[in-house]
Chain A
């Protein structure tokens, strides 16, 4: 086992394309959960709508990728409207149930054989990223010493971190505005805000739509990073990966999702690479097969993630940067 390989592989993921996708998804969740207290368990649905709309419009109708992205953002906002109308007046668990159901509906529809001619069923969609790649400023692989990316990946990484910076700026500006303060007070005490004459329902809806649109951005990068869109990319668990990312960094903090994504993917990849090397038949086997096979090692990331999500929420719900007082979220 080569530890420098492990480290560089982990950095590769921690700064790379996966971290970007989950960082964007978590920024969207931060607006929902961190600032407004909305329990959106279906961020994967917004990602799916974003990614699939973009890919489908380019592949089937041959329109410009950028226009397709715009349509994707609009549809994500519409999905938020659709999910918000029945649930935002109700208690938090209704939104949670409806959004997780929506994520499953969307995923099954995109993967269905009935709609194969539009969305390609389980095969998904490919060859839509030409417009994006045409703008690639890199002419060859990029090597930063401890990490290196192929030409295409480097462009996704650059564009991704720029998008994240812009989203963070947006969140920062929004949350120091009077609008953002209303959101935070809704999280603290909805009835008090209502008594001040604010339309809580409208504010919640706006927050749900903006967060959903950032979720759609995450969907765009999901599709662009592998130049393909596929129902497995937007499985229900994706949302909870994003929650873990958000809770590691700290909810209700502008940079929380960024720090969370880097740390989460660094640790997860490190664990993954370590265990797969430790159980590999080829090298020196550290862990005997009776305890863990190579196949079982690939499950450890999910087991650890589930455990991490529980323990974080129990012992340190504010994450690394968060403020515990800001996260006294209670059931409503």
Chain B
């Protein structure tokens, strides 16, 4: 029982060690996971060796791998020596006299051609390791774990899957962007608390979802869907409250737009930390859809959750656009956005229209936050983290325009996912924000915006 547990431990430690670099890798082989024969040998002939251990880690095993060629060269690429691993999985390369080796650095390389059929290095990029400067007169031991060869998906397959993820993400982003742009269009306020309106929806949905019992219909469990619906409705009420309690009085006082932006920042900080006060800082999952088996359609892997979320989001977007385009309230909204004074003089109750816009826009934001929570997991800053991307989307599409918000969201969402083909995953949002700045340089009004709004 002891060996597998230790093997497992070294497996867990390994990524950390790889990150930490070769100096730590040297100590790694001395860690309890390494079999005795990889440790430093008792020799006393005044030479220093590199001892490379090759271990087959498939299925939690830790078996030696024989017949693998290991080459050692200096930093300039001149070969120093090579060895083939023996039955113990050990390849031992003599570096030479202590006096020549001390203070030098070497590159250890695995010849991947000589690995057994169907296997690869556990980390395929870990073919070469560079040692630290040799300081001590001891051998340098290092272990290369070997695992099943994983077929690397081609760039096109990867792009296809990223495109699918990007589409789902964009549809969610588009709802939030539409909500932001409706409020901006009618009131001129760039609402920096919009991210918290999104989180509100996710929070309500989470609260409903974590209540005991489940909501089922015809034998199916619909708890999360119902929770999202409640989040949507509650967000509408929250939007009404926001407007009646804060923004409508400020409008009546004639507070300037800049002052309102700073107030929205204050509201954002207040709400975000209140959420953390209520639910804590951890990342949590909703009760359903966390561990889904994806459908495979050709090279495309997509889960039923992704399809459902995409359909809901697109449905809501289409409904919202139809409402804005064809109903009396929608026409009134567009009239107020165009020219509030003219709208008021033609008999539209501007304040009531703005109130409806707040309700509707916040409900959209809340639903978007809830769906974001379902797909990515919920925490108190799920909306805050998306806020800048929503801004990027509306700026790209055109501040205050309806179609611009949706187009911008799709461009930004797909761009973020596809950009991971070239930039590291951790920097994918940075790319989107750089796009935002570049767009302002080239076409400040955005793709679908109008010139007169920006000056």
Residues of A within 8 A of B (CB): 37, 39, 41, 83, 85-87, 89-94, 96-98, 100-102, 104-105, 108-109, 112-114, 237, 240, 243, 247, 295-296, 299-300, 302-303, 305-311, 313-314, 317, 328-331
Once the chains bind, are A93 and B261 in contact (CB under 8 Å)? yes
Once the chains bind, are B257 and A330 in contact (CB under 8 Å)? yes
B440-455 CB mask vs A (1 if < 8 Å, else 0) is 1100100000000111
The 4 closest A-B pairs by CB, nearest first: A331-B257, A306-B270, A306-B269, A309-B266
Partner-binding segment picked from B95-103, B229-237, B273-281, B348-356: B273-281
B371-398 CB contacts (< 8 Å) to partner A: 388, 391-392, 395
Which residues of chain B are near A101, meaning CB under 8 Å?
Answer: 388, 391-392, 433, 436-437
Given A86-B437, A310-B266, A329-B258 contact (CB < 8 Å)? yes
The answer to whether the Cβ of B113 comes within 8 Å of any Cβ in the partner chain is no
Query: Smallest CB-CB separation from A301: which chain B residue?
Result: B273
Which residues of chain A are near B261, meaning CB under 8 Å?
Answer: 39, 92-93, 96
Once the chains bind, are A92 and B257 in contact (CB under 8 Å)? yes
23 interchain pairs, CB-CB under 8 A = A41-B192, A41-B265, A86-B441, A90-B455, A92-B257, A92-B258, A93-B190, A93-B257, A93-B399, A94-B444, A97-B436, A100-B192, A104-B430, A108-B429, A109-B430, A240-B269, A243-B265, A296-B277, A300-B277, A306-B268, A309-B269, A310-B263, A329-B256
Dominant secondary structure at the B interface: helix
The answer to whether the Cβ of B35 comes within 8 Å of any Cβ in the partner chain is no
Query: Smallest CB-CB separation from B399: which chain A residue?
Result: A93
Given A39-B258, A314-B255, A113-B424 contact (CB < 8 Å)? yes
Which residues of chain B are near A302, meaning CB under 8 Å?
Answer: 269, 272-273
CA distance A89 to B262 in the complex (A): 21
Given A93-B190, A114-B424, A330-B256, A308-B266 contact (CB < 8 Å)? yes
Q: A306-B267, A331-B256, A331-B257 are in contact. List 5 more A-B contacts (CB 8 A).
A: A86-B437, A86-B444, A108-B427, A243-B262, A309-B263
Q: How many residues of B contact A (CB 8 A)?
A: 45
Specify which of A94, A96, A329 is in contact with B454 (CB 8 Å cutoff). A94
Residues of B within 8 A of A (CB): 188, 190, 192, 250, 255-259, 261-263, 265-274, 276-277, 280, 388, 391-392, 395, 399, 424, 426-427, 429-430, 433-434, 436-437, 440-441, 444, 453-455
**How far is the CB of B301 from the nearest CB of chain A, in Å?**
27
Which residues of chain A are near B434, meaning CB under 8 Å?
Answer: 105
